[in-house]
Amino acid sequence: MKLPIYQVDAFSAQRFSGNPAAVCPLPEWLDDSVLQSIAAENNLSETAFFVAEGEGYRLRWFTPAAEVDLCGHATLAAGAVVTRVLEPDRDSVTFMSRGGPLTVSSEDDLLVMDFPARPGATVDAPSALLTGLGVVPRQVLVADYYLAVFDTIDEVMALAPDFQRLEALDRIGVIVSAPGTDVDFVSRFFAPGVGVPEDPVTGSAHCTLTPYWSARLGKKKLRARQVSQRGGELFCEDRGERVTIAGHAVFYMQGEIFL
């Protein structure tokens, strides 16, 4: 059995930056154990699988260690595969997922995702977060992930987390963020509990970052940068219960999997 596979660098206009995701269109679902094995073999932060359903597709995401409920960069990559390869006459696609419908639209040279907003609630910092980060943030919020807010980019860049301690948290991911200089805000994202110590660029984190920084800065449209080693840029808009998250995507590889 042979299956097509694509590797896409999401949230970047250049190869070798942004967040690489593998995308595997399937004629029908395989056993979960096979999907997980493919993701582990790919050894990227996420592999996206989708199957045609109605006028769109059913989309699932796997890290090398586990299936997850939402992944922004792999959704962007899947949207690129559909609109630029499989159905090039199509300018938008809707994926059904555990988190509901997710739409990816092609607008000029950007791909724009429409996701549910996940605003955070302020909480006292858990001890595992403080010991895991090794510093005390200005503010801590929680939604799907923890969000630790700092005052400067330098503080965010200097973080060297203890990933074993972060694994003890009751959320799979930790976002750290600060105001930007040439962008509105910067961030990093850690998810060691699902096999991703640091994610290069995390679209789903911006479901929480966008409403936070929109309220704090008093603006709806925001430009963001994830300051991982590979880095990436995102263009976000707060639309109340929804957020749009846009970015570039470039193809790195196309091939076949043999099963």
Rounded CA separation 201/18 (Å): 6
pLDDT in tens, 185-230: 999 999 999 989 999 999 999 999 999 999 999 999 999 999 999 9
Q: What is the CATH number of domain 121-240?
A: 3.10.310.10
d(CA 80, CA 11): 11
* Nearest CA-CA partner of 39 in 16, 56, 62: 62
Instruction: Check: CB of residue 80 under 8 Å from CB of residue 87.
Output: no
Q: DSSP string spanning 35-55?
A: HHHHHHHHTSS-EEEEEEETT
Mapping DSSP to helix (H, G, I), strand (E, B) and coil, where does residue 22 land? strand
pLDDT of residue 86: 98
Determine the pLDDT at residue 28.
Answer: 98
CATH class of 2-116+246-258: alpha beta
Pairing relationship of beta strands 92-97 and 110-116 according to DSSP bridges = unpaired
pTM for this entry: 0.92
Average pLDDT score over residue span 2-10: 99
Would you state the torsion angle of the CA atoms of residues 245, 146, 168, 201, taken in this order, to the nearest 10 degrees?
30
pLDDT value at 50 more than 90 = yes
In the chain, residues under CATH classification 3.10.310.10 are 2-116+246-258, 121-240
Q: Which residues are catalytic?
A: 46
What is the pLDDT, as a whole number, of residue 245? 98
Q: Distance between CA atoms of 156 and 178, rounded to whole angstroms? A: 7
pLDDT, tens digit, for every residue of 232-246? 999 999 999 999 999
Residue 99 has pLDDT above 90, yes or no: no
Q: What is the mean pLDDT of residues 237-258?
A: 98
Distance from the first to the final alpha carbon of the chain: 5
Instruction: Measure the CA–CA gap between 203 and 19, rounded to whole angstroms.
Output: 10
Per the prediction, the chain carries an average pLDDT of 97
